Amino acid sequence: MTHTVHTRIDGPLVMIGFGSIGRGTLPLIERHIAFDRDQFTVIEPSGEFAHILAEHGIKHLQVALTPDNFDAVLRGLFPDGKGFIVNLSVDVDSIELMLLCQELGVQYIDTVVEPWPGFYFGSPLPNAERTNYPLREKVRALGKQFVGGPTAVSCCGANPGMVSWLLKEALLKLAADTGVEAVPVTQGDWAKLMQSLGVKGVHVAERDTQISANPKPVGVFVNTWSVDGLLSEGYQPAELGWGTHEKKLPPHGHAFDHGPGYAIWIDRPGADTRVRSWCPGAGPQFGYVVTHNESLSIPDYYTVWEGDTAVYRPTCHYAYHPCNDAILSLHEINGAGIVPEKKHILTADEIVSGGDDLGVFLYGHAKGALWYGSRLSIDEARALAPYQNATGMQVTSAVLAAMVWAAENPRAGFVEADEMDHARCLQVQRPYLGSIEAHYTDWTPIQHRINSFAEDRDADPWQFTNFLAV
């Protein structure tokens, strides 16, 4: 099969991390980006998958990056002031890497703003400071210092990342289906379009239905992507963008006392905070309010200001139903209160059926609610590329798309997915997304109760209090 080569990366290409997402991204880079193989290095402390790198002719630097060594290690790989870093690691500070890349003249992409170890577990920081809000605000402030610098794409995988591109397509579809003229160009245009459509909120609504032939062993955390990634973000406080239509904070909810104020946090872990949501395969479902950058970037991007007053902003949060094995795993550790030592990521070969539905669920508008997103089966993922399952395929193809966009726009400075050309990014990514589907529904979160129990329910169905399950 012939694959389109979209762009070229000149100079050293360095991938930090070679977990499930790194392994899945490698073949996509080889297919769609021209590079000098003798200048491609993967930094990965584990030797578990060194044989894959050897088979692909990629240099393996087996070292763990730390606050003490990262500067020297990376500086030595970029002697000529050009190149690209693809950061797919955990426990390596993204902001430190971004600053170094600006100094060296190197382009950069990551899928999350990752801190050094000690932030997620056992941190002395108060919970408000363990959220993504202060991390994002720091990145946004740095971006203002490096306008026109080497492109640094912050937080761009499937979500955050792809979902922001799908959201723009969803808004254009909703506009067309409701007879609203829409030719948005600027950030302000997009925000006013969402406002004019009456969208009250957005769920990043995901259902992972992939299952293994082997039952989950007790005491082993099983997932379809990075276990460490899910645990770290899942045990941050639940966090969400806070819409201007919301009447009151949820129990244990807090506003931030600094910055633009587009988000709130809840004093409980996201991996133990459930909301009612909707996906096309399952219909109504529970999801976890796991903190993600898109829960912050989307409400910030779509805020309509009149002077210093936010007159419109949508509520936005992740509503994640992971695979069944991960649900059982979360149940175990929430009960035990102990982070598991044994972890396992389901490979494409282990998974016997299922897939991943990942999209944006826009609610409160004239047509009720709209889910728009990617529906990708494990069989499709296996056929599309090696080292993939359905969840990983959605992430790795978004990394590819963001790399292409960054290479085509090398001096964009600090950007998030919302600020990129969504049409170009989806053009690159779409061959790997299975079916992109739109589903309207009349479902609301106040429907479907097996029995009547005491609830904090509001007459406006689209208040967050109606979504929250306690």
344 and 456 in one domain?
yes
351 and 241 in one domain?
yes
186 and 135 in one domain?
no
Residue by residue, what is the 3-state secondary structure of 72-93? HHHHCCCCCCCCEEEECCCCCC
Alpha helices for 315-470 (secondary structure H): 324-336, 378-384, 390-408, 422-429, 464-467
Structure tokens belonging to residue 407: 């290479």
What pLDDT was estimated at residue 371? 99
What pLDDT was estimated at residue 161? 98
Parallel/antiparallel/unpaired status of strands 107-110 and 152-153: parallel
**Is residue 326 in a domain?**
yes
**Is residue 196 in a domain?**
yes
Structure tokens belonging to residue 400: 């590819």
184 and 148 in one domain?
no
**Is residue 396 in a domain?**
no
pTM value is 0.97
Structural domain ending residue among the three candidates 103, 136, 153 = 153
CA distance 60 to 23: 13
166 and 105 in one domain?
no
Structural domain ending residue among the three candidates 108, 132, 153 = 153
**Is residue 426 in a domain?**
no
What pLDDT was estimated at residue 119? 93
Parallel/antiparallel/unpaired status of strands 263-269 and 220-223: unpaired
**Is residue 365 in a domain?**
yes
Tally the domains of the chain: 2
Parallel/antiparallel/unpaired status of strands 414-415 and 152-153: parallel
Structure tokens belonging to residue 189: 């245009």
| 376, 390 contact by CB (below 8 A) | yes
The neighbouring-strand residues paired with 304 are 312
What pLDDT was estimated at residue 1? 62
The neighbouring-strand residues paired with 360 are 204, 372
Please spell the DSSP secondary structure of 344-392, one letter per residue: EE--TTTEEE-EEEEEEEEEEETTEEEEEEEEEEHHHHHHH-SS--HHH
Phi-psi category of residue 90: left, alpha or beta, with phi > 0 → left and psi -120 to 50 → alpha: beta
CA distance 43 to 64: 8
Please spell the DSSP secondary structure of 14-56, one letter per residue: EEE--SHHHHHHHHHHHHHEE--GGGEEEE-S--TTHHHHHHH
CA distance 436 to 379: 16
Domain that holds residue 68: 7-153
Parallel/antiparallel/unpaired status of strands 274-279 and 468-469: antiparallel
179 and 102 in one domain?
no
315 and 253 in one domain?
yes
Residue 223 DSSP code? E
What pLDDT was estimated at residue 162? 98
53 and 114 in one domain?
yes
| Tokens 């290690």 -> residue | 73
Q: Render each residue's pLDDT in the chain as its tens digit; 470 residues.
A: 689 999 999 999 999 999 999 999 999 999 999 999 999 999 999 999 999 999 999 999 999 999 999 999 999 999 988 999 999 999 999 999 999 999 999 999 999 999 999 999 989 999 999 999 999 999 999 999 999 999 999 999 999 999 999 999 999 999 999 999 999 999 999 999 999 999 999 999 999 999 999 999 999 999 999 999 999 999 999 999 999 999 999 999 999 999 999 999 999 999 999 999 999 999 999 999 999 999 999 999 999 999 999 999 999 999 999 999 999 999 999 999 998 889 999 999 999 999 999 999 999 999 999 999 999 999 999 999 999 999 999 999 999 999 999 999 999 999 999 999 999 999 999 999 999 999 999 999 999 888 888 888 999 999 999 999 97
Residue 13 DSSP code? E
For residue 327, give the CATH number of its domain.
3.30.360.30
Residue 333: CB atoms within 10 A of its CB come to 18
Give the residue among 157, 469, 76 at the shortest CA–CA distance from 287.
Answer: 469
**Is residue 80 in a domain?**
yes
Please spell the DSSP secondary structure of 409-434, one letter per residue: STT--EE-GGGS-HHHHHHHHGGGS-
381 and 305 in one domain?
yes
**Burial of 60: CB neighbours in 10 Å, binned 0-12, 13-18, 19+:** middle
240 and 149 in one domain?
no
CA distance 304 to 71: 40
Helix 422-429 and helix 162-177, axial crossing angle in degrees, nearest 10: 110
**Is residue 222 in a domain?**
yes
Parallel/antiparallel/unpaired status of strands 107-110 and 342-345: unpaired
Give the residue among 82, 141, 149 at the shortest CA–CA distance from 113.
Answer: 141
| 281, 375 contact by CB (below 8 A) | yes
List the Cα angle 448/450/456 in 5-degree steps.
70
What pLDDT was estimated at residue 2? 86
**Is residue 409 in a domain?**
no
Structural domain ending residue among the three candidates 130, 153, 176 = 153
128 and 11 in one domain?
yes
Give the residue among 77, 361, 423 at the shortest CA–CA distance from 201.
Answer: 361
3-state helix, strand, coil in the chain (%, to 5): 35, 25, 40
Give the residue among 317, 306, 344, 314 at the shortest CA–CA distance from 328.
Answer: 344
What pLDDT was estimated at residue 342? 96
| 159, 21 contact by CB (below 8 A) | no
Structure tokens belonging to residue 411: 């001096």
| 254, 128 contact by CB (below 8 A) | yes
For residue 103, give the CATH number of its domain.
3.40.50.720
185 and 127 in one domain?
no
The answer to whether the peptide bond before residue 160 is cis (omega within 30 degrees of 0) is yes
